[in-house]
Amino acid sequence: MEVMNCKHKMKWWKDAKFGMFIHWGLYAVLKKGEWVMYSSKIPVHKYEKLARKFNPIKFDAKQWVRIAKNAGMKYIVITAKHHEGFAMFQSKTSPYNIVDATPFNSDPLKELAEECQKEGIKLCFYYSHVIDWHHPDSLHDRANNTWDYELDKKDFYKYWNGLAKPQIKELLTEYGPIGLMWFDTAGGLSKEDSEEMVQLVRSLQPDCLINSRVSHCPGMGDYQSKGDNEIPMLGQDAREFETPMTMNQSWGYSDKDQVWKTTASLLRKLVNIVSKGGNLLLNVGPTPDGEIPGQSVERLAEIGEWLDINGEAFYGTSPCPYPYELEWGSITMKSGYLYLHVYSEYWPQANLQLYGLRNKILKAYILSDPNKASLEFIQTYDSETNHYSLSIEVPNIAPDKNIAVIALKIDGEIDVDESLTQQPSGSIRLAAFQSEIQPVEASGEKSEGSERRKTALWHFKVVNPGTFEVVIVNFKKSGAIWEEAYQNPVVISLAGKKIVGKAREDVILEDSPNCQYPYREVHSNIGELTINRPGVYALELISDMISPKPKGTEIWQAEAVKFRNIKLMRKKDI
């Protein structure tokens, strides 16, 4: 019964796919982002004075909800209290709140609750339940206010029982139905205290969802919160997941941060995440006056225009049935339909090819075409290699400047070849988490000065043999020193041949569908290998950078350089 109830209450969230994150607090006054109190070590008595200057007279709940709704967003998560400790609602527990401490003298969360109810948007609250730089007894495992308070004098349960839990109760009893409690930074919180917080939420609003950041214990919460701006590889997550993402590089308002993602980039990331079974929680950081920045509004409107046309291939869909990512875009599906999201920059000149689809296709058409005119296609099957191929004749020019969707109406339940298979361009992608990982000694290769050195093994199918360029793909954090990660050469074995090479920063992608600030996607060319005939092959990688798939919450920002996959790029035929 509990499992069935969980599925029922998760349905709205799984169908929604897209939500608005709102980071708004006293930090907006300083225009330097939401961590400014901590990074600048601002004393509490000085930071409190910001409340006298915080008067967001341009705040308009109706406008905010309209912006979210027009963008195609189905829920809003707003910071009821961030790490600074200031409550953005009228709290009876503490006068340090927007109603009692500012000249604004109004409760924006109350207004948002009313507008969300009217417009059918789920209202959700972010609450920093462990970090609170204002409270003398808040205690985190690393990010504490040590410039005002002494760590050894903190009594965490005075904060926990005196502020955190009472304010959570206020949020869940004074604002109507809440779709989700979005907790953050649980470092140092015990499993018992985490479970207590979960039970508190459940007791007040049983249908309210809870994200995994309520705890660092594996499996806590209703779904997996990925790291900030983290997009997983296809099939990496066993649980439903959500990626919180910025449009620029800041969460809270910063007038210095003008590094904005383009609408095209945001749409690719949105579709990419949804095709992997996740939700995107896209952030806006309102100004101290209470306005959502124009750059955000413009991009959200353009995303909404795309969703108005292509929403059928987005809302309520299931993730891509293939175990690997497609080179031209992403796939979503519903019963009887497969949706091919083709990024405009990869739009083919004549035919779009897809391997491994076993179903008979009844019709193919471009979703944005009002006439739903049929596209010509050919399906073939090679019994010798057990290989299915589909070729769709498409217009020479992409019908959408960002992403065009080709809908495939199919016969029966979707059935695809789930083996790792070479793609139509000739490339082969092998994700890190898909490998079998063993100690390096198991391969017979001796470790040379690194206890981290391990062996990863993949099996995959080659359809079109040839000579391949071997590329290792990593995500590198801003400021990281590459040589500290790749101190030793990598060893790659395939088809009876071996390459020993040094991984270098050969190509850096500035705009990757999978990677963004503070990381960049880095490609390392290791060498070339030749495969002489079709068949199933094994590739073995020996490297310091191989690590098992995490069992619990992945601390994305913890690794300076993160190995993601190996790509074999076919250069020429045999």
CATH number (domain holding residue 341): 2.60.40.1180
Secondary structure (DSSP) of 40-66: TT--HHHHGGGGGG---TT--HHHHHH
Would you put residue 478 in left (φ > 0), alpha (ψ -120 to 50) or beta? beta
pLDDT at 370 over 70: yes
CB 82 within 8 A of CB 251: no
Report if residue 415 sits inside a domain. Answer: no
Instruction: Inform me whether the pLDDT recorded for 302 exceeds 50.
Output: yes
> Is 20 in the same domain as 155?
yes
User: Torsions phi, psi of 141, nearest 5?
Assistant: -80, -10
Same domain, 453 and 351: no
Once rounded to an integer, what is the mean pLDDT over residues 14-27? 98
Quote the domain boundaries for residue 298. 2-307
Same domain, 137 and 240: yes
Q: Does 136 map to a domain? A: yes
Q: How many CA atoms lie within 13 A of 272 on its CB side?
A: 24
4 pLDDT exceeds 80? no
Give the pLDDT score at 571.
Answer: 86
Q: Single out the residue of 424, 415, 430 nearest to residue 492, CA to CA.
A: 430
pLDDT for residue 414: 95
pLDDT digits (tens, 9 = 90+) for 495-538: 999 999 999 999 999 888 888 888 999 999 999 999 999 999 99
Asked whether the predicted pLDDT for residue 556 surpasses 50, the reply is no
Does position 555 have pLDDT exceeding 70, yes or no? no
- Overall number of domains in the chain: 3
Euclidean distance between CA atoms 97 and 88, whole angstroms: 6
**Region 274-281 average pLDDT:** 97
Helix, strand, coil percentages (3-state) for the chain, rounded to 5, are 25, 30, 45
How far apart CA 191 and CA 197 sit, in angstroms, is 10
384 and 294 together in one domain: no
Which are the contacts of 443, defined by CB distance < 8 A and separation ≥ 6? 455, 540, 542
Closest residue by Cα to residue 222 from 196, 198, 187: 198
Is 294 in the same domain as 354? no
Residue 200 sits in a domain whose CATH number is 3.20.20.80
Averaged pLDDT of the chain = 93
Q: Do the domain assignments include residue 140?
A: yes
- Identify whether residues 47 and 108 lie together within a single domain: yes
The answer to the question of residue 422 being in a domain is: no
pLDDT tens profile 152-202 = 999 999 999 999 999 999 999 999 999 999 999 999 999 999 999 999 999
Are 33 and 250 in contact by the 8 Å Cβ rule? The answer is: yes
In a domain, 68, yes or no: yes
**pLDDT score for 400:** 96
Residue 236 has a pLDDT of 77
447 has a pLDDT exceeding 60: no
Task: Say whether both 107 and 176 belong to one domain.
Answer: yes
Residue 345 and residue 201 share a domain: no
266 and 190 assigned to the same domain = yes
pLDDT at 552 over 80: no
In this predicted model, what pLDDT tens digit does every residue of 243-256 receive, in sequence order? 999 999 999 999 99
pLDDT of residue 467: 95
Given this model, what pLDDT does residue 137 score?
98
Evaluate if residue 15 carries a pLDDT over 90: yes
Confidence category of residue 558, pLDDT binned at 50, 70, 90: low
**Residue 16 and residue 279 in contact, taking contact as beta carbons nearer than 8 Å:** yes
How much is the CA Rg of the chain, to the nearest whole Å?
Answer: 25
Answer yes or no: do 290 and 159 share one domain: yes
